Structure 1
Amino acid sequence: MSERGKGRRAGRQGAPLSRARIVAAAVALADEKGEPGVTMRALAARLGAEAMSLYNHVAGRDDILDGMVDAVFDEIEPPKPAADWRGAMRDRAASTRAALLRHPWAVGLLDSRSTPGPATLRHHDAVLGALRAGGFSVAAAVRAFSVIDSYLYGFVLQERSLPFTGPAELDEVATGILRDLPTGDYPHLAEAITEHALRPGYDHAGEFTAGLDLILGALRPDGDAPGDAG
């Protein structure tokens, strides 16, 4: 029997195909190869099935993408209505960032689906509910949600593209940049490197919380930041 035939036989003898199993395989495939690597043929090969048999459980690739996004939202701890809405937003942002670091392909997809699944709907409703319970008007809650996520997604995108992954690599990169800077030409950049990035104990990941606190500190339940003329 050919290897291809063995794979199909193994698939038939294993767990039966289902939408949940297909979506889980798609998430794992995207974690390895990125979202473009999730094709019906690649999924069928991973599941040991015929590509056409997947259509008995999903409508197509868009349906799978819907399920993948919903699976990521299902991993995020939703906020609960509480008097401390800032704490609720902070915890929820940390949980979202952790999920996006596990599934970097999802950053550009989370809010892209026109047919959101139940986990997505629950999550969005919980975020808005926590802000409303904190005293935000409907419009202010929507705007606060948007501002927080714009920062959150942007930080993760930047974090994934940085040329270092930890303090040791950061030290090497920053020291190299500083060494190559023409003396006196970029004083503020040199200052930022020596007094911030290269300070003992500096960890770029800590910048996420610091930036988030700036945003949460500026938001107000009535939707008006300090000094806003309305």
Structure 2
Amino acid sequence: MARPSTAATRPRLNRDRVLTGAVALADRIGIEALSMRRLAQELDVVPMALYKHVANKEQLLDGMIELLVAEIDPPATGVDWRAAIRLRVLSARRVLLRHPWGRSVLESRTSRTPAVLGYIDSVIGTFRTGGFSAELTHHVMHALGSRMWGFTQELFDEPAGPDTSAADGGRAVEDASPEVQQAMLQALAEHFPNIAATVLTATHDDGTVVARGCDDQAEFEFALDLMLDGFERLRSTGWSPRGGH
């Protein structure tokens, strides 16, 4: 009996298989190395077969973000707005930790897809049902910024000049040998005593960084909780942009 051909036994190519394959490949080789040709090789198809399901790489990236958004937990029920937002943001963070390339792709999108808009709309809806006015919600969403997706954007920009942040200074010290650490800390204390004092108390969680930069879980949650507490104070006092408190 003749054996079935490889083409006959290969899973049928569809949009979902293309996108899930692209996500898995980007997880393994990074987003910079991902190309339509490389993905076609991974799926064992000719490159032109991909274009029946995604028009170009930009559409492929949009679809990959759709899958990431689908991994974020839905809004929690039976909890107040603060707990619901916190759970949602930390769920988004876990997704980006699983898929580190997601941050850069999210930021590169020039238009919002329905999946992205749906996530933003649901976050806004949680604030609104929690008693936030439309005006306060507008300001709150601006304040949250990229934290809504589980990362702090400003920490990932390439520094424009010499790096003097306490957090990154701490990272540099931690990465050095004990002898070099001592010399670095001594020099730092002589010229920048306040930075040195902060560096000595800084700790970082291994394996929790989204992309690059000092963005460990404890620091992220600390800042998030501060913001949520501030939002609640504004909500409870009836803040408005015209009347303040």
> What TM-score, normalized by structure 1, do the two folds share?
0.76
Provide the rounded CA distance (Å) in 1 between the counterparts of 2:217 and 2:154: 10
Give the match's secondary structure for 2:55: coil
Runs of 4+ in 1 over 6 A off after TM superposition: none
Q: Check the 8 A contact 2:15/2:53 in 1, yes or no.
A: yes
Q: Check the 8 A contact 2:15/2:54 in 1, yes or no.
A: yes
The answer for the alignment partner of 1:188 in structure 2 is: 194
The answer for the alignment partner of 1:6 in structure 2 is: none
Q: Which amino acid aligns with 2:86?
A: R
Matched, 1:173 2:179: no
Shift in CA distance, 115/170, structure 1 to aligned 2, threshold 3 Å: closer
Matched, 1:154 2:152: yes
How far the C-alpha of 1:36 sits from its partner, in A, is 2.8
Provide the rounded CA distance (Å) in 1 between the counterparts of 2:154 and 2:67: 19
Provide the rounded CA distance (Å) in 1 between the counterparts of 2:111 and 2:96: 20
Structure 2: segments with no counterpart, 5+ residues: 157-170, 206-215
How far the C-alpha of 1:157 sits from its partner, in A, is 5.6
The C-alpha deviation readout for 1:158-203, integer Å capped at 9, x for no partner, is 4xxxxxxxxxx89843865454142532211121122x226xxx74
The answer for the alignment partner of 1:27 in structure 2 is: 23
The answer for the alignment partner of 2:36 in structure 1 is: 40
Provide the rounded CA distance (Å) in 2 between the counterparts of 1:188 and 1:96: 34
Shift in CA distance, 31/223, structure 1 to aligned 2, threshold 3 Å: farther
Provide the rounded CA distance (Å) in 2 between the counterparts of 1:113 and 1:47: 28
Give the aligned CA root-mean-square deviation in angstroms: 3.2
Q: Check the 8 A contact 1:140/1:223 in 2, yes or no.
A: yes
How far the C-alpha of 1:28 sits from its partner, in A, is 1.2
Q: Check the 8 A contact 1:74/1:120 in 2, yes or no.
A: no
How far the C-alpha of 1:40 sits from its partner, in A, is 1.2
Matched, 1:106 2:106: no
39-48 or 83-92: which moved more? 83-92
Provide the rounded CA distance (Å) in 1 between the counterparts of 2:15 and 2:151: 28
Give the match's secondary structure for 2:151: helix
The answer for the alignment partner of 2:136 in structure 1 is: 140
How far the C-alpha of 1:64 sits from its partner, in A, is 0.9
Shift in CA distance, 90/50, structure 1 to aligned 2, threshold 3 Å: same
Shift in CA distance, 132/24, structure 1 to aligned 2, threshold 3 Å: same
The answer for the alignment partner of 2:57 in structure 1 is: 61
Q: Check the 8 A contact 1:82/1:133 in 2, yes or no.
A: no
Aligned length: 207
Q: Which amino acid aligns with 2:151?
A: Y
Provide the rounded CA distance (Å) in 2 between the counterparts of 1:91 and 1:18: 33
Q: Check the 8 A contact 2:96/2:102 in 1, yes or no.
A: yes
> What TM-score, normalized by structure 2, do the two folds share?
0.71
Give the match's secondary structure for 2:191: coil
Q: Which amino acid aligns with 2:104?
A: G
The answer for the alignment partner of 2:69 in structure 1 is: 73
The answer for the alignment partner of 1:163 in structure 2 is: none
User: Identical aligned pairs, as a percentage?
Assistant: 34
Provide the rounded CA distance (Å) in 2 between the counterparts of 1:44 and 1:95: 31
Shift in CA distance, 105/134, structure 1 to aligned 2, threshold 3 Å: same
The C-alpha deviation readout for 1:126-155, integer Å capped at 9, x for no partner, is 111101001112233233233223344326
Provide the rounded CA distance (Å) in 1 between the counterparts of 2:47 and 2:74: 35
